Chain A
Amino acid sequence: MSTPAREMPRREGSFEREPARRVFAGELRECHYQFREGDDEKSPTFVLLPTGERCNRIFLIGTLTEKTRQGEQNMFYRGRVVDPTGTFFVMAGSYQPEAMQQIARIETPAFVAVIGKPSLYRKDEASAPMVSVRVESITVVDKETRDLWVLDAAERTLDRVDALRTGDSLDITKAKEQYPTVDPAVFRKMAYDALAQITI
């Protein structure tokens, strides 16, 4: 006679939030596969990284080099955030009013911390997929925080590269299928170069 798991009311804080993955622009740019977990309307969409990890949310820090306001009726902001390996394309639309107000106040260039959701889109049928990051939040930070992020992103990238060689998770298998030509050594080199750019 076993006791059934007690039905606990779903309290605040009891649900698992999707962690924000740390990924360099140079790796995110290579993504061209996204998938959905479950077929519910609200089920999350994941972009699969070539190093074999799904991400629904990412955390990045870089330099906001330019921002442009677009659209009349449905106004939104586009921005470019540069890290040591490349450029993140970020956007904040009217569905992210908070993020839009934040980005509106920031004067470029500035170090910014961005929490957002990556998604793939194509300019037209023929073109290659692009990754853009829908901003949930963007704040100005200092250089030390940026450097901490580079360490963090490098460490996570190296973790993924190592796991790719030895592990066999669902995402790793899928990544090997989806990105057959990608050499993980590229990302190790990328992490090294990013770290080497930090001057103390």
Chain B
Amino acid sequence: MDFSEAAERISRKFVKDGTALADKAKIEGKLRRLVQEFGVQPSEAERSVTGELAREHNMALPGSAPNGQRGGGGTAEKKIAEAVPGEWVTFEGKVVALSAPVSPSISQSGILADESGAIRFVAWAKANAPAMNEGSWYRIESGVVDEYKGVANLKIHSGTTIKEISEDRALIPVPQEIKNLHAGIGGVRAKVVQEWDASHERMLQSGLLGDETGTIKFVIWKEPGREKLEVGGVYNIFYAQVDEFNGRLSLNLNGATILQEEGDIAVSGGETAFTGAIVHIAPGSGIIKRCPVEGCNRALSRQNYCPVHEIQQKFVYDLRIKGWLDNGMKTHSILLQRDAVETLTGISLAAAQEIAENNPLGMDEVFLQMRDKVLGRYVTCRGREIDNRLLVNSCELKKFESADHTGLLNRAGGAA
């Protein structure tokens, strides 16, 4: 056994902030003593000295045995995208973002990425882990992947070893399609389609991002160095946090890498279209009263009662139709907003209000007239589907196409 070489190998594992923690000569002495005096197998001697040093310096026992072979209880080296909560893992990845720790018990938090994907990481203060630098590659051995708020998260604890990888590897993140995003860390190439009023004083900007496959809400919280996105601008966004709330996804862009680029995207708007017959008009359709309190807009009961703001006499009238659209195979819940209702029924809000205020049946009469005009009709509804309900932007009556007719005649007669 070449003692000096083994000692060199061991001492490399115990380096903190660039300075060696253990004296190489001392290591060599220990090894020599174990092997020569006590007849210990060289590999076992190396393991023993390493373990002793690890305990002495309160560092995790490096997972790699001599010759890079792994013991039975070691952690699997994985790609980030393969991580499953509950596993001990070893990743090689690049720190692509660092964020301010939210608690004193966390020393560092950020995002680690490899070519397969990205994951948030948290280093506990108790772990005494070396500080990692944004933009550098690291080998993280024996971390634990767990789940925090439904998203996989890498925990760096006192048993984790972090080694900087000096070579600079290329990492080109690939944007995902919006419809394929899932909770975790994601990247998109998207256009800012809408900007919404900030609903919170800490919020810098919120709005809607879209690509060819759909749209997603985004939010940027106020933080030094963060800038608003330009409405209509196209951005490459990498390593953004994809949050899930009530089954809906949103992008948190704090911590993300954002690059504006030239060009345009034909945003699909996530619109879907269904054609079928309207087979039911639900109660609460027709003319309704809405709460006038700003930002509320809830439908009032017949007694003008808002579930939040109680009795509101200065209500605002609105039109809507809730119902079911059925193609014989599947039934979709639909909600038509005022514009779509006016086009489909031919009854304007003003006309409906006139009926509601002067007809003895009041608002019920509007419901009945609208029902008779739309129930049993074939329509095509376009809009966004949320929670199994289609929020209809436009709705038109289906027309009889003689091409459909001949097509079916051929089909029915052809194979007879």
Q: Mark B33-64, 1 if CB is under 8 A from A, else 0.
A: 00000000000000000000000000000000
Interface size on B, residues (CB 8 A): 39
Q: Are A195 and B372 in contact (CB under 8 A)?
A: no
Interface residues of A in 106-140 (CB under 8 A from B): 112-115, 136-137, 139-140
Q: Which residues of B contact A137 (CB under 8 A)?
A: 279-280, 375-376
> Is A43 part of the binding interface, using a Cβ–Cβ cutoff of 8 Å?
no
Given A19-B326, A113-B277, verify A1-B405 contact (CB < 8 Å): no
> Is B333 part of the binding interface, using a Cβ–Cβ cutoff of 8 Å?
yes
Q: Are A59 and B412 in contact (CB under 8 A)?
A: no
CA distance A114 to B331 in the complex (A): 16
Q: Are A17 and B376 in contact (CB under 8 A)?
A: no
> Is A174 part of the binding interface, using a Cβ–Cβ cutoff of 8 Å?
no
Q: Are A20 and B409 in contact (CB under 8 A)?
A: no
Interface residues of B in 78-127 (CB under 8 A from A): 84-86
Interface size on A, residues (CB 8 A): 46
> Is A171 part of the binding interface, using a Cβ–Cβ cutoff of 8 Å?
no
Q: Are A189 and B416 in contact (CB under 8 A)?
A: yes
Q: Are B389 and A20 in contact (CB under 8 A)?
A: no
CA distance A198 to B406 in the complex (A): 11
Stretch at the interface among A32-40, A44-52, A69-77, A146-154: A146-154
Q: Which residues of B contact A185 (CB under 8 A)?
A: 416
Q: Which residues of B contact A114 (CB under 8 A)?
A: 376
Q: Are B376 and A19 in contact (CB under 8 A)?
A: no
Choose among A13, A57, A148, A195 the residue that contacts B389 (Cβ–Cβ < 8 A).
Answer: A13
Q: Which residues of A contact B329 (CB under 8 A)?
A: 19
Q: Of all chain A residues, which has the CB nearest B404?
A: A151
Q: Of all chain A residues, which has the CB nearest B409?
A: A195
Q: Are A20 and B331 in contact (CB under 8 A)?
A: yes
Question: Separation in Å of the A56 CB from the closest CB of chain B?
Answer: 11
CA distance A137 to B378 in the complex (A): 15
Question: Separation in Å of the A197 CB from the closest CB of chain B?
Answer: 11
Given A61-B376, A144-B400, A198-B405, verify A18-B331 contact (CB < 8 Å): yes
> Is A22 part of the binding interface, using a Cβ–Cβ cutoff of 8 Å?
yes
Question: Separation in Å of the B277 CB from the closest CB of chain A?
Answer: 6
Q: Are B150 and A3 in contact (CB under 8 A)?
A: yes
> Is A200 part of the binding interface, using a Cβ–Cβ cutoff of 8 Å?
yes
Given A20-B331, A200-B402, verify A113-B376 contact (CB < 8 Å): yes
Most chain B CB within a 10 A radius of its CB, from A18, A152, A155? A152
Q: Which residues of A contact B409 (CB under 8 A)?
A: 192, 195-196
Most chain A CB within a 10 A radius of its CB, from B279, B280, B324, B399? B279
Most chain A CB within a 10 A radius of its CB, from B279, B328, B329? B328
> Is B70 part of the binding interface, using a Cβ–Cβ cutoff of 8 Å?
no
Interface residues of B in 268-284 (CB under 8 A from A): 277, 279-280
Q: Are B408 and A154 in contact (CB under 8 A)?
A: yes
Q: Are B408 and A158 in contact (CB under 8 A)?
A: yes
Interface residues of A in 44-93 (CB under 8 A from B): 57, 59, 61
Q: Are A188 and B400 in contact (CB under 8 A)?
A: no
Question: Separation in Å of the A30 CB from the closest CB of chain B?
Answer: 18
Q: Which residues of B contact A59 (CB under 8 A)?
A: 277, 279, 326, 328, 376
Q: Mark B372-416, 1 if CB is under 8 A from A, else 0.
A: 100111100000000111000000001110101100110111011
Q: Of all chain B residues, which has the CB nearest A165?
A: B415
Q: Are A139 and B412 in contact (CB under 8 A)?
A: no
Choose among A21, A61, A139, A147 the residue that contacts B400 (Cβ–Cβ < 8 A).
Answer: A147
Give the interface of B toward A (CB within 8 A): 84-86, 147, 150, 247, 277, 279-280, 324, 326-331, 333, 371-372, 375-378, 387-389, 398-400, 402, 404-405, 408-409, 411-413, 415-416
Given known contacts A12-B333, A136-B280, what 5 new A-B pairs fall within 8 Å (CB)?
Answer: A3-B150, A19-B330, A141-B376, A145-B378, A151-B408
